[in-house]
Amino acid sequence: MGRPTAVFVDRDAIKSNFDIAKSFSPNSKFVSVIKANAYGHGLKEVAQTLSKCTDAFGVACIEEALLIREAGIKNPVLLMEGFFSVEEIEIASKENFWLMVENQFHVDHILSSKPSQPVKVWFGIDTGMHRLGFQGREVGINFQKLEASENVQPSLVVSSHFSTADDLNSNTTKNQINNFDSSIKSNHLINYKHEQSLSNSAGLIGWSGSRRDWQRPGYLLFGNSPFVQKHEVEKVLKPAMDFKSKIISLRDISAGESVGYGQNWTAKKQTRIATVTVGYADGYPRNAENGTPTLVHGKRCPLVGRVSMDMITIDVTDIHHATIGDEVLLWGKELPVNEIAKYSNSIGWELLSRITSRVPRHYLN
């Protein structure tokens, strides 16, 4: 009943991908990163799926963390951008939300606050991404303040984030690992009670030197390779999302006739056009190029014409039995989201997280 555009999420695939992530560092603990509505897969549902597998969850903000609590899930939750207002410190204290601390604002307010119980701190170091984290002499000074505070739990996690771990041909990640270790040593942060965390998805799989006490996989949990190059891990990961719609109209056009807004595609021969009910208001990328593949009856059918708000048009000339109501796979197990992203001058992370709220999610297994 109703519009057929929908997302189908395979819970077993997510669990399988977690097991693959765990196999790369079996003695580590894991923060499963499920920010941005679990990369479009549904925050509460994915948290429920992984709650018995993972040690903790990672999100961008306290609003996302509170949704996890609303779902009845008790795992610790790391607020990966820290807190934005002082009031969040007490909420974090009560709810077992862990705080990323990476600037003077964070330190000053934690030290001056009066939480009902000490907060768990992840201490961020800028090793070269230059987005978040303490630099230079700030590292040792602020770490010592937090370590000495009764407002902070005794064991801190020292962490950083990679800028180009997805590119295995770049030396940047190796340099960042060296910068991290040098900062730990020069600021005397080595202590048995303090833990370390460096790896995101690409770091965990591609850079063994980054596998420390805590791993932070996100994108790979949903079955997608985090690398710019082809990688063996693609053979074992299971894409958890199928994004589907259906054909709602069919027509034949002659050579020289154009399709869609702006007439940016013109037929070179007699062509059968199928209209599919999905558009950029659903999260399908408006900048997807002509030729972007879809799947109909298991065969590739290229996008023709500009993506509009609610519809796209595809060439089904080679699908002789195509009819209204036929299912169209936009990306998923048989059509990687990373491939669609390349046609859209984007990345898979963006496409998944941009799927809008009007697209229903259905959960399998």
Does 52 share its domain with 163?
Answer: yes
- Write out the residue range of the structural domain in which residue 255 sits: 241-364
Give the CATH number, domain containing residue 357. Answer: 2.40.37.10
Does 199 share its domain with 153?
Answer: yes
> Does residue 6 belong to any structural domain of this protein?
no
Give the CATH number, domain containing residue 25. Answer: 3.20.20.10
Does 182 share its domain with 245?
Answer: no
> Does residue 234 belong to any structural domain of this protein?
no
Does 293 share its domain with 349?
Answer: yes
Per-residue pLDDT tens over the stretch 201-260 = 999 999 999 999 999 999 999 999 999 999 999 999 999 999 999 999 999 999 999 999
Whether the Cβ atoms of residue 152 and residue 118 lie closer than 8 Å to each other: yes
Does 57 share its domain with 193?
Answer: yes
Q: Which residue numbers in the chain have pLDDT < 50? A: none
DSSP for residue 262: G
- Domain final position from 228, 255, 276: 228
Does 291 share its domain with 174?
Answer: no
pTM of the model: 0.95
Does 219 share its domain with 320?
Answer: no
| Residues with a known catalytic role | 35, 261
> What contacts 240, CB < 8 A, 6 or more positions away?
9, 10, 11, 13, 14, 17, 41, 221, 222, 223
> Does residue 210 belong to any structural domain of this protein?
yes
Which residue in the block uniquely carries the two structure tokens 């996989």? 217
In 3D space, the residue among 137, 98, 89 whose CA is nearest the CA of residue 120 turns out to be 98
Does 40 share its domain with 99?
Answer: yes
Q: What is the pLDDT of residue 1?
A: 67
> Does residue 236 belong to any structural domain of this protein?
no
- Domain final position from 197, 228, 259: 228
Say how many domains are in the chain.
2
- Reading the block at residue 51, the tokens are 């709650």
> Does residue 3 belong to any structural domain of this protein?
no
Per-residue pLDDT tens over the stretch 85-120 = 999 999 999 999 999 999 999 999 999 999 999 999
> Does residue 235 belong to any structural domain of this protein?
no
